Amino acid sequence: MTEATVHTLAIDATPEAVFAVAADVASYPEWASGVKEVEVLESDDRGRPSRARFVIEGLIKELRYQLTYTYDEPTNISWVAEPNNDLKYLEGSYTFTATDDEATEVVYALHVEPNFMLPGFLRRQAERQIVTTALRGLRKRVGDLG
């Protein structure tokens, strides 16, 4: 993933617990800031979303897109958007690594190319805001469910 925004955060839970929350895509509107709607369109043989439709409150406008997910449980979740009127390209991933102090290091990488004019510095600023807000929301959700 080139030119991605990458942030890391420690969460006091096992990689399995953090993975389970992050893989529950349908619940994102309950805890992920800016996510207005999620509809799971297809699931894999383990019941995890393999395609989902999102409506997001964007920096400039509301964005609608569909993501395709791949999983390497419990260490990685990655996704890519189907190109549409709002997005030229979107790719992201969560990586979960157990730490020595019984926590999980979560690395979130995101790269977005909108299909409308947006200066590069604003795109990068929006990516940073999405990534840091999502990591904080994920940590809070894991704590609330733990």
| Structural domain range at position 131 | 5-145
3-state secondary structure of 115: coil
Question: How confident is the model over 108-114, as a mean pLDDT?
Answer: 93
Q: How confident is the model at residue 3 (pLDDT cuts 50, 70, 90)?
A: confident
As for how many domains the chain has, the answer is: 1
* 16-20, 49-53, 104-108, 142-146: the lowest-pLDDT one: 142-146
Decide if 103 contacts 13 (C-beta within 8 A): yes
Place of tokens 């979960």: 96
Q: How confident is the model at residue 1 (pLDDT cuts 50, 70, 90)?
A: low
Question: How confident is the model over 24-38, as a mean pLDDT?
Answer: 95
pLDDT over threshold 70, residue 72: yes
Question: How confident is the model over 93-109, as a mean pLDDT?
Answer: 96
What is the CATH classification number for the domain harbouring 101?
Answer: 3.30.530.20
